[in-house]
């Protein structure tokens, strides 16, 4: 039998339950929704989680669609799932945990006796480090973003190649290979010996069905590549960026973008213009480097200096 919180499954079973992480302000238990998919044959363990940022819902959509399609009698190994990590932020559709104003994906590996977010991070980190592989599902929050997979351990990390292989198996087609900030699960888990990726499944408020579909396919690709399921993952070449150029607004007004997300852009190519409300162009911003048009703000209105867009740079493939 394999357990995660109150979910316990014998070989060939799927079980759901709750992982206790504390209490709310009225003393009610806080339990993260969890699942255990226990295959009939021995194999690796995959840890899968979603919504460590409470408004990034596409990962929840992936799990909602994936789990009913998993037949444990066809699986070798075990899948441990936390469907919603940032419980408090999810309840109010906010990015950060409103109890302690913390971005959960900066709190790993957590602290069992720490803040609310640190306690949740510690509980989910313990589950993650029981696994052989970790997939931490994200999206671009309120920004518009291409579908991508992030490798955050850094190119000098001893598990860098293993994380790149996991990203290739997921097969979003685009990979950001750049060391992440302290406190990210995709940095902390490799330090504990577990290859980890951080798929960023598009960007939208609410569910983006196309990105959810890509996420479901990506997880199933991982299950095939690492022999949880029969079959082979595509293992297609991935377009990789190792840096970002970020652009802010040189003036206030309304932003009009020229390239589409995912387009290649060349140095000097116009990325966006800022106009007044009558359509008069106030400023035109061009690319500093060749790269991929990666991410943009969702709303058109900007103040001077406000974030507008990002271009992925230092492009190659692997």
Q: Please give the Cα distance from 134 to 170 (Å, whole number).
A: 12
pTM of the model: 0.96
- The angle formed by the CA atoms of residues 93, 97 and 100, to the nearest 5 degrees, is 150
Q: Summarize the confidence of residues 252-260 as an average pLDDT.
A: 98
Instruction: Dump pLDDT digits (tens) for 77-122.
Output: 999 999 999 999 999 999 999 999 999 999 999 999 999 999 999 9
pLDDT digits (tens, 9 = 90+) for 142-179: 789 999 999 999 999 999 999 999 999 999 999 999 99
- The H or E element containing residue 20 is strand 13-23
The Cα 244–Cα 266 span in angstroms is: 14
243-317 is a CATH 2.40.50.100 domain: yes
SS3 category, 300? coil
Element holding 185 (H helix, E strand): helix 185-191
The pLDDT of residue 110: 97
pLDDT at 205 over 80: no
Domain locations along the chain: 2-226, 243-317
pLDDT for residue 230 is more than 80: yes
**What superfamily does domain 2-226 belong to in CATH?**
Zn peptidases (3.40.630.10)
């Amino acid at each position: 039998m394999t357990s995660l919180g109150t979910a316990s499954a014998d070989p060939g079973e799927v079980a759901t339950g709750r992982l206790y992480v504390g209490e709310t302000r009225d003393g009610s238990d806080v339990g993260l929704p969890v699942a255990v998919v226990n295959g009939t044959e021995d194999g690796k363990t995959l840890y899968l989680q979603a919504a460590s940022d409470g408004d990034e819902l596409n990962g929840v959509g992936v799990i909602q669609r994936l789990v009913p399609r998993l037949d444990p009698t066809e699986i070798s190994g075990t899948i441990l799932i936390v469907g919603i990590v940032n419980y408090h932020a999810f309840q109010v559709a906010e990015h950060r945990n409103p109890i302690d104003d913390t971005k959960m994906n900066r709190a790993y590996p957590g602290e069992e006796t720490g803040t609310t977010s640190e306690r949740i991070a510690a509980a989910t980190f313990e589950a993650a480090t029981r696994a052989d592989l970790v997939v931490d599902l994200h999206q671009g929050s309120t920004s518009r973003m291409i579908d991508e997979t992030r490798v955050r351990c850094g190119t000098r990390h001893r598990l860098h190649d293993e994380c790149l292989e996991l990203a290739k198996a997921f097969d979003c087609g685009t990979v950001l290979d750049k060391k992440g900030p302290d406190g990210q699960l995709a940095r902390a888990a490799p330090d504990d010996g577990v290859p980890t990726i951080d798929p960023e499944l598009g960007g939208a408020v609410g569910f983006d069905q196309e990105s959810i579909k890509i996420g479901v396919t990506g997880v199933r690709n991982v299950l095939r590549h690492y022999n949880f399921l029969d079959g082979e993952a595509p293992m297609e070449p991935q377009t990789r960026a190792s840096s970002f150029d970020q652009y802010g607004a040189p003036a206030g007004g309304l932003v009009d973008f020229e390239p589409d997300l995912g387009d290649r852009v060349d140095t000097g190519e116009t990325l966006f213009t800022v106009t007044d409300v009558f359509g008069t162009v106030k400023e035109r911003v061009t690319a500093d480097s060749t790269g991929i048009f990666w991410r943009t703000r969702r709303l058109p209105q900007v103040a001077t200096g406000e974030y507008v867009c990002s271009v992925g740079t230092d492009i190659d493939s692997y």
